Structure 1
Amino acid sequence: MEATVGCDFCQLVPSRVLDESECFVVIRDAFPVTEGHTLFISKCCVVDWFALSDDERVELNQLIVNHKRELQNTFPEITGFNIGMNCGESAGQTVMHFHAHLIPRRENDSSSPRGGVRGVIPQKQGY
């Protein structure tokens, strides 16, 4: 990975890496929302999804699909997933290095899951 000074994702400890492809590394989130919460991090220090090339997006999609299957095989109680990317500080991005979240969901892991990603603005989640 190209290292950028001060970027946590440019300085990953190799033992955290679960998988990698040509353009991405895969790790478990250090502050997981649910068990199995997985991050897909670009090897090039680009800021967000919009800075990825079309080829990188195709590669990312395949990695997400593969890890979704792996998680469901490991945790058969998984009944759904949230996939998310924060692009910009106002969207909640705190590490300015592209990463995507794959968050496994289970029945009753939330008292009110309706609205899913709309929960980024809690008062807009229920509709």
Structure 2
Amino acid sequence: MAGPPRLPETMSEGECVFCAIGAGRAPAAFVHEDDEFVGIVDLRPVTTGHLLVLPRDHHADLASLPAEAGARMFGIAQRLAAALRRTDLRCEGINLFLADGRAAGQEILHVHLHVIPRHAEDGFVLSADWRVRDREELAKVAAKVKAAL
């Protein structure tokens, strides 16, 4: 039996793996590095070329990430998406995906943005109830969101 995955020797028990990657204490295949962010190849890619953009500093969710840093994270993702299109990797489209909270599918509680190259036969599907809603329902939702701003 293989047992649980082993931590890199330089990473401490309970440490956030993305913090360890950002600090150089855990391995990753880097595509972008600066003082504030890293871009890495996803260990469990949806498609070949699936990348992650993550802040070096720990921010569990999007709300805890400063707005300027969030804008910068999306800017880096935009540059990486353009780079993917220039490679010979299969990339007929791109999804940017950010799961914010466990209910949204966030598995590692360190905010990160997926840059996923897409093609017609890749099998990646987001399924939902896409039916059109009535205007009254939309107005009520809009009012709640505006009130919370």
TM-score category (smaller protein): 0.7 to 0.9
Instruction: Tell me whether 1:7 sits opposite 2:16 in the alignment.
Output: yes
Q: In structure 1, how many angstroms separate the alpha carbons of the residues matched to 2:64 and 2:13?
A: 16
With 52-61 and 23-32 compared, the bigger mean Cα shift is at 52-61
> In structure 1, which of residues 16, 31, 53 is the aligned counterpart of residue 66 of structure 2?
53
Query: Relative to structure 1, is the Cα distance of residues 4 and 16 closer, same or farther in structure 2, using a 3 angstrom cutoff?
Result: farther
Q: In structure 2, how many angstroms separate the alpha carbons of the residues matched to 1:126 and 1:75?
A: 34
CA RMSD of aligned residues (A): 2.3
Q: CA deviation at 1:125?
A: 6.0
Higher strand proportion = 1
Q: Which has the larger radius of gyration?
A: 2
Higher relative contact order (CA 8 A, sep 6+): 1
Give structure 1 stretches of 5+ with no counterpart: none
Cα deviation digits, residues 49-105 of structure 1 (max 9, x gap): 222112112211221111011101113641111111111111111111111101000
Normalised by the length of structure 2, the TM-score is 0.68
* Matched-pair contact (CA < 8 Å) for 1:4–1:10: no
Give structure 2 stretches of 5+ with no counterpart: 1-11, 132-149
> In structure 2, which of residues 29, 43, 46 is the aligned counterpart of residue 30 of structure 1?
43
Q: In structure 1, how many angstroms separate the alpha carbons of the residues matched to 2:106 and 2:74?
A: 20
Normalised by the length of structure 1, the TM-score is 0.78
Letter in 2 for 1:7: C
Q: In structure 2, how many angstroms separate the alpha carbons of the residues matched to 1:37 and 1:125?
A: 26
Q: Percent identity?
A: 28
Tell me the equivalent position of 2:5. Answer: none
